[in-house]
Amino acid sequence: MASLGEQKLPRLGQIGFINSLPVTLPIDRRLVDIGAELVLDTPTGLNARYAEGSLDLGAMSTFFYLKSRSMTLIPRLSISGDGAVGSVLYFGKNKPNKAKPFRIAVPFASATSVCLVQVLFMEQFGIMPQTVPMEKPNLGDDVDGALVIGDYALSVDADWSGLYDRQDLGQWWNSIFDLPMVFGLWASRTSFSERHPAEFSAISDGLVQALNVGLGDAFADVVEEAHKRTGHSIVRLEHYYRHELDFTFTDRHRVALEKYESLCIQHGLLNQKAIISAQGISVRT
């Protein structure tokens, strides 16, 4: 509890998956002073905390960012894939069939990926699949396929790839649109960035610094921590961080974000149009 006269630190949300370790590990081990209280959670958990106002800024799913009316973008960072991303995977047991409902087991933890697989099915097959939310999606008798994300996707990949049709959603999106897929972003509640512009700027710079350290001097520590959590080989994890995940946010990512948004609206998954800019987000009603 803060003492009288002591200023409370801003509350910074970060995704607890290993895909965020290049940012979170340098902060957690105090290799970078971020000037904020670190809160780790799933993408869905963080989204709920932003919505209720218990977090000031941090990482969030792309879908939540687009849906929100009160977020300001930190424009230099993302969790993206420009091609195969390795940890957002669809496994198909049955081929898409317009003659009957097509059911996909999906995780509770990521609205962005769930909407993405629906968009891709509509774009390629003209089918809007039914989603069956699960804590850990599986390919039981009642579903035709499963969407798995994050650490769980990396864990089941080797076994499931030999049994089912495998699609990496980052590669699938890229093969259709020739754009990166932006799965996650960093942003602030606009009320915080407007009231505390200096802190917003300092924390934004600190996040970029943390990423540079995580992919630079502390990279071996990042990979070792990911290895301890998952058991995956050092070689596999180095490839994951260096060649599958993309943490940048460029003009091309902005175009990709707008494309994803427009398709979500077109297919009835998002019902409001956001104006995406380097300064933040506002909403056309």
How confident is the model at residue 272, as a pLDDT? 54
Residues in the chain: 285
CA distance 46 to 53: 10
Mean pLDDT of 218-239: 96
* Amino acid in position 37: E
Nearest 5°: phi and psi at 123? Answer: -70, -40
Tokens at residue 169, please?
């959603």
Q: Which residue has the higher pLDDT, 9 or 272?
A: 9
- The domains located in the chain, with CATH, are 11-80+181-284 (3.40.190.10), 88-177 (3.40.190.10)
Mean pLDDT of 99-107: 93
3-state secondary structure 161-196: HCCCEEEEHHHHHHHHHCCCEEEEEEEEEHHHHHHC
Residue 244, C-beta contacts closer than 8 angstroms, at least 6 positions apart: 81, 83, 84, 85, 86, 87, 170
Q: For residue 51, what pLDDT band results from cuts at 50, 70 and 90?
A: confident
Q: Which residue has the higher pLDDT, 1 or 117?
A: 117
pTM: 0.88
**Position 12 pLDDT exceeds 80:** yes
How confident is the model at residue 22, as a pLDDT? 97
CA distance 117 to 92: 12
